[in-house]
């Protein structure tokens, strides 16, 4: 039996894997892991199904005469090396792009960022985690000086007095986490859920606020206005531990309750009740997810929710604070160590000369040889086929997951060369010139970092099929073909040891974490610096830094130790409804599928539970359209058209429709979504765009 972790969401639930008599493995509860305490959702329970060779890639593929055909690893790697080298020679290093994924282990993310900057010399690297919590990251860095999904462990949530959950449907996206909200209420706490839909999570709330999509910023400002006008601010906390309050208060006071009601559709009495519930107990939390973050003003929106916490003294204290519920399995660690366009390992800024010197010293290269920041994820994908001529893509499926997806598919098809390393033949891999079959969670050892900032060790439980290699092997071989013989080991622990050195002294300092320690503990929270200048993997646990499960209790991570308010004001979404497109579209997930569905759509049990896309709409909207349950509905935006069956329910606002984004083809929700970008985080506006509805004749 091998103790390990689920391959899907950022909870990284603990599980045990045991070899089955007829082959494969079985999953059993791992009650010792504190995050899920044995509980697993359907995706976790069925995760071993994808280990079957029948459901995944088992040999390299190369495109010949328009068709992908099996080849040897040597030929496939030679083709990738030739394609990237040709582009680099003819068009320069920045014509080579690299696109990673939030499901890659820390070791793979680190090696991929190093490969892009050292071997290819390109600045053009980003990853799909940009579409996850980049707005919360930007707001957290501004306010607190550090970006970690949760600054406290999940176990603290039931111990607070009130939770405001903004734009998260935990019951479907992270089912084992719902127990924390249940325990919160059992302990006498209250739950406020903010979502334009009455989701399974909203049904658990003591108060459900249903704003128009894209108006969360106005809602947060309206609540802060009421906090000030009712005298509920914590003046001592503001004076002692924050800066920038006067400008922020002035901005909030321009958002009086009746004005906010007109914008959001949330009645003033509900706004007042939310403030009463949030301010009544001694402790409270605000938790955000993709709802407020995936907007063209997501950074300001999250900043406004942080302001609410700071103004009421609900931050930097036990069982209080702001936190972001990271989505992807390693969305946190994936950006900390080099996949993101503007960051180096340890969450260092690529523009910081000292950061460049430190990391270049670990890598054994000249700091001046490191390229500067490149394009953000959507901008990188949009530049394919023009400024970027070749792309190496690992662990992502932008044909389904990117906004304005039909356009991104065209950009991928226009490339001179595309290489994809993946577990399955995703919709993006099907467009590639070379497809490399790589190992997955149970077939390899590596670390991930969950939404709490808890670094975990995923252990190998089974051997991969004969024709499958690890992503680290791929990067090692490609580096060698480019003349870089050293610096890209294939053993994960060796990569992690270098990652420790590269992260040392950075914001996300992993230098005090070792594989040995992770094997003995249930994860270690970063920052966890080494206790001396020479990290020693054999040092006893007693001598090691304990890790940092709770941040900000003594000071914030800013230079002066104070949290910074963000003086923000409301602005509308990038694309408001009009006469031609009178309805708002918002998107999200369903419990039985995950992200682009590239893996979960191959599992029979999950497909039986969620077989395809749908359009959720209110009965009044359906009546105006003349549509009945199950009728085919076309949803049309300025970017394209998607068709799916109607699902009629009073659980959604009459001015809004919802589509899940897990499917390709004519029901692809991201054909419709708006790539308007947040000016700070470069997050696209997935959560709100203008559409019209049309019935489709049978």
Gap between the Cα atoms of 397 and 128, Å rounded:
9
pLDDT at position 534 is: 42
540 has pLDDT over 90? no
Average pLDDT over residues 595-602: 96
Enter the DSSP assignment of 116.
I
- Cα distances from 649 to residues 259, 291, 673, in angstroms, run 29, 20, 22
CATH of the domain at 151: 3.40.228.10
Average pLDDT over residues 106-120: 98
Choose the weakest-confidence range: 176-180, 323-327, 584-588.
Answer: 323-327
- Same domain, yes or no, for 246 and 267? yes
Confidence (pTM): 0.96
- Same domain, yes or no, for 362 and 299? no
Which bin fits 58, alpha (ψ -120 to 50), beta or left (φ > 0)?
A: alpha
Enter the DSSP assignment of 208.
E
Is there a domain that residue 575 lies in? no
- Same domain, yes or no, for 82 and 32? no
Is there a domain that residue 565 lies in? no
- Same domain, yes or no, for 468 and 503? yes
Which is nearest to 205 in space by CA: 194, 195, 196, 193? 193
- Same domain, yes or no, for 518 and 595? no
pLDDT at position 537 is: 47
3-state helix, strand, coil in the chain (%, to 5): 35, 20, 45
Average pLDDT over residues 552-561: 97
Which is nearest to 472 in space by CA: 504, 454, 494? 494
The residue assigned the tokens 């499926």 is 397
Q: Which of 306, 325, 344 delimits the end of a domain?
A: 325
24 has pLDDT over 60? yes
- Same domain, yes or no, for 198 and 257? yes
Q: Which of 513, 543, 573 delimits the end of a domain?
A: 543
Structure tokens at 630: 């199950």
Which is nearest to 476 in space by CA: 466, 464, 485? 485
Confidence of residue 119 (pLDDT cuts 50, 70, 90): very high
CATH of the domain at 445: 3.40.50.740
Is there a domain that residue 221 lies in? yes
pLDDT at position 145 is: 97
221 has pLDDT over 70? yes
185 has pLDDT over 50? yes
Gap between the Cα atoms of 389 and 383, Å rounded:
9
**Residue 320 domain boundaries:** 134-325
- Same domain, yes or no, for 127 and 149? no
How many domains does one find in the chain?
A: 4
Average pLDDT over residues 527-548: 71
Confidence of residue 327 (pLDDT cuts 50, 70, 90): confident
251 has pLDDT over 60? yes
Gap between the Cα atoms of 548 and 526, Å rounded:
6
- Same domain, yes or no, for 235 and 198? yes
**What are the backbone angles phi and psi of residue 187, rounded to the nearest 5°?**
-85, 0
Q: Is the dihedral of CA 450, 451, 453, 454 positive or negative?
A: negative
pLDDT at position 535 is: 47
Confidence of residue 20 (pLDDT cuts 50, 70, 90): confident
Confidence of residue 532 (pLDDT cuts 50, 70, 90): low
């Amino acid at each position: 039996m091998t103790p390990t972790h689920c391959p899907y969401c950022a909870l990284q639930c603990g599980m045990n894997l045991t070899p089955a008599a007829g082959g494969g493995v079985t999953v059993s509860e791992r009650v010792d892991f504190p995050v899920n305490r044995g509980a697993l959702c359907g995706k976790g329970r069925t995760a071993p199904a994808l280990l079957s060779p029948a459901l995944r890639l088992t040999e390299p593929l190369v495109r010949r005469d328009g068709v992908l055909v099996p080849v040897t690893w040597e030929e496939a790697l030679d083709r990738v090396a030739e394609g990237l080298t040709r582009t680099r020679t003819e068009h320069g290093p920045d014509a080579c792009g690299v696109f990673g994924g939030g499901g890659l282990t820390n070791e793979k993310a680190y090696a991929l960022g190093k490969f892009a900057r050292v071997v290819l010399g390109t600045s053009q690297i980003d990853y799909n985690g940009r579409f996850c919590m980049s707005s919360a990251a930007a707001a957290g860095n501004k306010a607190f000086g550090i970006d970690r999904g949760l600054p406290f462990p999940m176990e603290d949530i039931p111990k607070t007095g009130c939770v405001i959950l903004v734009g998260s449907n935990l019951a479907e996206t992270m089912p084992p986490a719902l127990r924390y909200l249940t325990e919160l209420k059992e302990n006498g706490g209250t739950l406020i859920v903010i979502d334009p839909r009455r989701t399974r999570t909203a049904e658990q709330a003591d108060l459900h606020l249903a704003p128009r999509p894209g108006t969360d910023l106005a809602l947060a400002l309206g609540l802060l206005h009421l906090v000030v006008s009712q005298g509920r601010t914590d003046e001592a906390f503001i004076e002692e531990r924050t800066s920038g309050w006067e400008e922020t208060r002035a901005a909030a006071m321009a958002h009086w309750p009746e004005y906010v009601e007109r914008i959001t559709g949330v009645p003033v009495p509900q706004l007042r009740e939310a403030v009463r519930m949030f301010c009544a107990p001694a402790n409270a939390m605000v938790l955000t997810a993709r709802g407020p973050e995936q907007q063209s003003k997501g950074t300001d929106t999250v900043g406004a929710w942080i302001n609410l916490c700071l103004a009421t003294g609900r931050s930097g204290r036990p069982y209080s604070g702001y936190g972001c519920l990271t989505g992807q399995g390693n969305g946190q660690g994936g950006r900390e160590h080099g996949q993101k366009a503007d960051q180096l390992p340890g969450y260092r800024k690529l523009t910081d000369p000292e950061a460049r010197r430190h990391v270049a010293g670990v890598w054994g290269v000249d700091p001046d040889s490191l390229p500067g920041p490149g394009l953000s994820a959507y901008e990188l994908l949009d530049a394919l086929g023009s400024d970027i001529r070749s792309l190496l893509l690992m662990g992502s499926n932008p044909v389904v997951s990117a906004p304005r997806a039909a356009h991104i598919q065209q950009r991928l098809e226009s490339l001179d060369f595309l290489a994809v390393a993946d577990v399955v033949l995703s919709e993006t891999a099907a467009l590639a010139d070379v497809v490399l079959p790589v190992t997955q969670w149970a077939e390899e050892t590596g670390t991930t970092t969950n939404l709490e900032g808890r670094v975990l060790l995923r252990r190998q439980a089974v051997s991969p099929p004969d024709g499958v290699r690890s992503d680290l092997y791929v990067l090692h071989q490609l580096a060698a073909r480019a003349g870089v013989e050293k610096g890209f080991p294939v053993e994960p622990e060796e990569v992690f040891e270098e990652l420790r050195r590269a992260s040392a002294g950075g914001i996300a300092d992993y230098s005090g974490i070792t594989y040995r320690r992770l094997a003995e503990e249930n994860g270690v929270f970063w920052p966890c610096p080494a206790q001396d200048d020479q990290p020693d993997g054999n040092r006893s646990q007693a001598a090691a830094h304990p890790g940092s499960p709770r941040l900000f209790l003594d000071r914030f991570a800013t230079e002066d130790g104070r949290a910074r308010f963000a003086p923000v004001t409301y602005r509308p979404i990038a694309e408001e409804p009009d006469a031609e497109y009178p309805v708002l579209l918002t998107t999200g997930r369903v419990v039985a599928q995950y992200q682009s569905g590239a893996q979960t759509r191959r599992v029979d049990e999950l497909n039986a539970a969620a077989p395809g896309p749908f359009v959720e709409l209110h009965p009044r909207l359906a009546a105006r359209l003349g549509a009945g349950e199950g009728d085919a509905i076309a949803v049309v935006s300025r970017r394209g058209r998607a068709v799916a069956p109607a699902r009629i329910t009073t659980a959604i606002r009459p001015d809004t429709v919802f589509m899940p984004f897990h499917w390709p083809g004519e029901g692809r929700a991201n054909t419709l979504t708006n790539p308007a970008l947040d000016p700070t985080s470069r997050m696209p506006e997935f959560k709100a765009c203008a559409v019209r509805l049309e019935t489709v004749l049978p």
